[in-house]
Amino acid sequence: MGQETAVAFEGVHICEKSGHQTRRCRYLRAPEASATQPGIAALTSIVTQAQQQLQQVQQQMQQQQGLLKQQQDQLFELQQQLQKQQQERETSEVKVKKEEY
């Protein structure tokens, strides 16, 4: 049969009994396989672009996570300050009430 080096799809086949779709494929021999090289190069290019985009998205996510962490830290600080102010206010209110009596 010769050396099998690539697969070519011959379209979609729909089974009459089950209705399932399958792709008919055939193996190409070495001389025929060279015809698919541009397709392989195109797919390689697409995959490379997708990987680059994925890296960019991951970097953006890391930056967003860093910003989120900063905001969480700031929020925690503000909550601590608010709690302290509330305690001080409650303490001063108690002092004022004691002085009134």
- The candidate with the shortest Cα–Cα distance to 38, out of 74, 8, 4, 17, is 8
Model confidence pTM above 0.85: no
At which residue do the structure tokens 């099998």 appear?
Answer: 4
User: Is the pLDDT score of 81 beyond 50?
Assistant: yes
Bridge partners, 12 (sequence order): 23
51-71 average pLDDT score? 95
pLDDT in tens, 16-46: 667 666 655 555 455 554 556 677 888 888 9
Q: 8 near 28, Cβ under 8 Å?
A: yes
d(CA 47, CA 88): 61
